[in-house]
Structure 1
Amino acid sequence: MRTRVLVVVVGVLVGLAACGGDADEPDPATSPTTDADPSTVTTTTTTTGSGTERPGPAVDLGGVEAAVEPTGEVLHGSLVTPDGRTRTYRLYLPTQRADDAPLVLALHGGTGNGDQLAQTSGYDGLAEANGFVVAYPEGTPTALGPRQLVWNAGGCCAAAVRDGVDDVAFLGALIDLLAEDHDLDPNRVLGVGHSNGAMMALRLACEAADRVAAVAVQAGTVFVDGCAPSRPVSVLDLHGSADRNLPVDGGVGEDSAAGADFPPVREGLATFARAAGCAGADASSVRETDQAEVTVESWGPCPGGIDVELVVVDSAGHAWMGHPAPTGRSDEPYPDLDASLVTWAFLAAHGG
Structure 2
Amino acid sequence: MAFRFAAEAADRVAAIAPVAGYCWVGELQLSRPVPTLYTVGTQDLLIPLRGGDVRLPWNQRLVRRPPVNDTLDRWARALGCAAAPVVRSDDAAVRVDTYPGPVTFDAVTIEGLGHHWPGGRALLNPRLAGPPSTAIRATEMIWEFFRRSMSGA
**TM-score, with structure 1 as normaliser:** 0.38
**CA shift digits 1:26-65 (9 cap, x unpaired):** xxxxxxxxxxxxxxxxxxxxxxxxxxxxxxxxxxxxxxxx
Kindly indicate whether residue 24 of structure 2 is the aligned counterpart of residue 227 of structure 1: no
SS at match of 2:113: coil
Tell me which residue corresponds to 1:324: 121
Please state how far the C-alpha of 1:311 moved relative to its aligned partner. 0.7
Q: What is the aligned counterpart of 2:65 among 262, 272, 286?
A: 262
Counterpart Cα distance in 2 of 1:310 and 1:239: 8
Q: Distance in 2 between matches of 1:328 and 1:250?
A: 21
CA distances 1:61-104 after superposition (whole Å, capped 9, x unpaired): xxxxxxxxxxxxxxxxxxxxxxxxxxxxxxxxxxxxxxxxxxxx
Identity of matched residues, %: 36
Tell me the CA shift for residue 232 of structure 1.
0.4
CA distance in 2, matches of 1:340, 1:328: 21
The match for 1:293 among 93, 100, 109 is 93
Indicate which of 105, 118, 126 corresponds to 1:308.
Answer: 105
The equivalent of 2:133 in structure 1 is 334
Change (3 A) 1:262 1:344: farther
1:275 aligns with 2:74: no
Query: Aligned equivalents of 2:96 and 2:13: distance in 1?
Result: 23
Residue by residue, what CA displacement relative to the aligned partner does 1:241-299 show, whole Å, maximum 9, x if unpaired?
Answer: 11111112333324554644333322222233223322xx221122334x422111111
Work out which of the residue numbers 249, 252, 256 in structure 1 matches 2:50: 249
SS in 2 for 1:249: coil
Opposite residue 340 of structure 1, the aligned amino acid is T
Is 1:236–2:37 an aligned residue pair? yes
| Structure 2, unpaired ranges of 5+ | none
**4+ aligned runs moved over 6 Å, structure 1:** none
Deviation of 1:336 (Å): 2.1
Q: Rg bigger for which structure?
A: 1
CA RMSD in angstroms, aligned pairs only: 2.3
Q: Say if 1:209 and 1:245 are closer, same or farther in 2 by CA, change over 3 A.
A: same
Count of matched residue pairs: 147
Which residue identity does 1:317 align to in structure 2? Answer: G
Q: Which amino acid aligns with 2:134?
A: P
- Distance of 2:33 and 2:14 partners within structure 1: 8
CA distance in 2, matches of 1:214, 1:345: 11
